Amino acid sequence: MTNDEILKRCNAITKNTLMETLSIEYTEIGKDHLVAKMPVNSKVYQPDGVLHGGAMVALAESVGSAAAIVFLDPSKFHIRGIEISANHVKSVKSGFVYAKAKPLHLGKTTQVWDIKITDDDNRLISAVKLTTLALPKSS
């Protein structure tokens, strides 16, 4: 499967999910990373008009879990996030944020993902670590 086909598939499975609600779009894939973007607008604001930290965590878990699926055999495993930790270091009021997931550990059952969220100017907005669990699908 080509990278374009993988991105198309990642975006297709977001219909009727939180990713669709937040307008998360998978935009780039490489040999060791997956990138998604999310618009910063009133749908994802906290009451004072800046990007909500929970929306950033949702973006990070979405891209990290999708990366886990991409880098494992999705016909054999279900992926579940089991722990997430986020450090929000800058606020954003407009534009887009981009989450880039790279593996720190790719084990047989657990994976640890480093996810950096940046803004349109490539400034770090949030640093996230996600641990996922690969559950075998029953035959």
**Catalytic: which of 20, 25, 61, 83?**
61
For residues 122 and 117, give the distance between their C-alpha atoms in angstroms, rounded to a whole number: 9
Q: Assess whether 28 carries a catalytic annotation.
A: no
DSSP class per residue in 88-123: E-----SSEEEEEEEEEEE-SSEEEEEEEEE-TT--
Q: Tokens 């606020």 sit at which residue?
A: 91
What amino acid positions are annotated as catalytic residues? 61
